Amino acid sequence: MQAEVLTRELRTIIQNVEIAARKKPFGGRRSRRQFGNCFQWERLVRHRILLLLAIISAAVHSGSANAFDTKDMIALQGVVHEICVQPDRKGTYIKYEGDLSAGATLRIAGISGTGKVTKEDWDGISQTLQSNTDPRQCGITLTGMLIKAMTPKDCTGKQITGYGREFDDARDSGWRGGGSGYSTANWCNDLINQLRGQNPNGVFGIVSQSEETKNTCAPFNCPQCLYHCTVHVKADPQCE
């Protein structure tokens, strides 16, 4: 989605934000009377709209606007607002799965897609919340961090200048029946396919491979094999 399209849709988005601002995080509605006075009401709506504008701006300038539709932007704006106001609820709205040192999967409440987050990224998010004294500035800073994590840079057709992460991943296949034609090469190929799904546009190379065998029904021949493979991964390509 291009910047001019986002601009044309802004009026509709703001209307949706005003509706969302009347809702509690998990259902129910707040009335103007519940906020105490009109000033508090309008201040909350303005704050949410400012965060939404920051999201749109960050998405456009990072070249990642195609990754977020209107629904995603409103969901992200809501998440940022909630955790900047209540940092101790971070775990309710943003979570990661996997090993941060190798690049974990990032999930944000209300957004169907996933992103990638490293230990440095996650520590940066935590530090932003811990040092938060101004929810509005927290929202703007956190918005940029989350959009970056949710939208890896597209280097298709561009000159690769380096990679954001490099690491070795060693795994084994688990014991399996031998004599089926399956080999260490097959296991390495399966492992690379798994890693490719976790690290799109990455580069993969086999570092080492080996196997172990055992007989589980002596004196008969019931071979079992355990395949080992270590793959070097270059992930998160950087480009001009």
| Chosen domain end from 130, 150, 170 | 150
In a domain, 59, yes or no: yes
pLDDT at 192: 95
93 and 130 share one domain: yes
Query: What is the pTM (predicted TM-score) of this model?
Result: 0.51
226 in the same domain as 134: no
Question: Residue 25's pLDDT is what?
Answer: 46
Residue pLDDT, tens place only, 194-239: 998 878 788 999 999 999 999 888 888 888 999 999 999 998 888 7
Instruction: Identify which of 90, 88, 83, 86 has the alpha carbon closest to the alpha carbon of residue 51.
Output: 83
pLDDT of residue 100: 86
Looking at 150, 170, 192, the residue that finishes a domain is 150
Distance CA 73, CA 56 (A): 8
Q: Which residues pair with 232 in a beta bridge?
A: 168, 205
- Distance, in Å, from the CA atom of 113 to the CA atom of 105, rounded to the nearest integer, reads 10
User: Are residues 83 and 171 both part of a single domain?
Assistant: no
pLDDT number for residue 208 = 97
Confidence band for 108, pLDDT divided at 50, 70 and 90: very high
- Whether 68 and 106 map to the same domain: the answer is yes
User: 107 vs 29, which has greater pLDDT?
Assistant: 107
Q: Do 93 and 129 fall within a single domain?
A: yes
Indicate the burial class of 88 (C-beta count within 10 angstroms; 0-12, 13-18, 19 or more).
Answer: exposed
- Asked whether residue 178 falls in the same domain as residue 108, the answer is no
Q: How many alpha carbons lie under 13 Å from residue 230 in its C-beta half-sphere?
A: 7
- Are 19 and 80 within one domain? yes
Each residue of 63-83: pLDDT tens digit?
A: 554 456 667 778 888 898 889
Question: How many angstroms separate the first and last alpha carbons of the chain?
Answer: 22
Task: With CA atoms as reference, report the closest residue to 149 among 107, 98, 194, 191.
Answer: 107
Q: How confident is the model at residue 135 (pLDDT cuts 50, 70, 90)?
A: confident
Examine residue 47 and state whether it is found in any structural domain, yes or no. Answer: yes
Tell me, what's the pLDDT at 125? 93
Is the domain of 7 the same as that of 86? yes
Q: Which whole number is the average pLDDT over 91-112?
A: 87
Instruction: State whether 123 and 171 are in the same domain.
Output: no
56 and 113 belong to one structural domain? yes
133 and 194 in a single domain? The answer is: no
Of 80, 25, 30, 26, give the one whose Cα is nearest residue 52: 80
Decide if 70 is inside a domain.
yes
Percent of the chain at pLDDT exceeding 90: 25
Within 8 A by CB and 6+ apart from 206, the residues are: 188, 192, 229, 230, 231, 232
In a domain, 155, yes or no: no
Which amino acid is residue 6, in one-letter code? L
Summarize pLDDT for 147-205 with one digit per residue, the tens. 888 876 677 788 888 887 889 999 999 998 877 789 999 999 999 999 988 787 889 99
Best mean pLDDT range from 51-60, 111-120, 211-220 = 211-220
Measure the CA angle with vertex 55, ends 112 and 59; round to 5°. Answer: 80
Reading the block at residue 211, the tokens are 């196997």
**86 pLDDT higher than 80:** yes
> Residue 88: in which H helix or E strand, if any?
none
Percent of the chain whose pLDDT exceeds 70: 70
Query: Is 98 inside any structural domain?
Result: yes
The answer to whether residue 136 sits within a structural domain is yes
Looking at the fold, whether 42 and 142 belong to one and the same domain comes out as yes
| Domain coverage including residue 165 | 160-239
Structural domain count of the chain = 2
- DSSP H or E segment with residue 129: helix 119-130
Q: Specify the pLDDT at position 185.
A: 94
| CB proximity list for 124: less than 8 A, separation 6 or greater | 145
Going by pLDDT thresholds of 50, 70 and 90, the confidence category of residue 26 is very low
Predicted confidence band of residue 40 (pLDDT cuts 50, 70, 90):
low
**pLDDT number for residue 2:** 41
Output the pLDDT for position 189. Answer: 96
Task: Compute the CA torsion angle 87, 88, 92, 96 (nearest 10 deg).
Answer: 80
CA angle 146, 147, 149 (to 5 degrees): 65
Give the residue from 150, 177, 206 where a domain finishes.
150
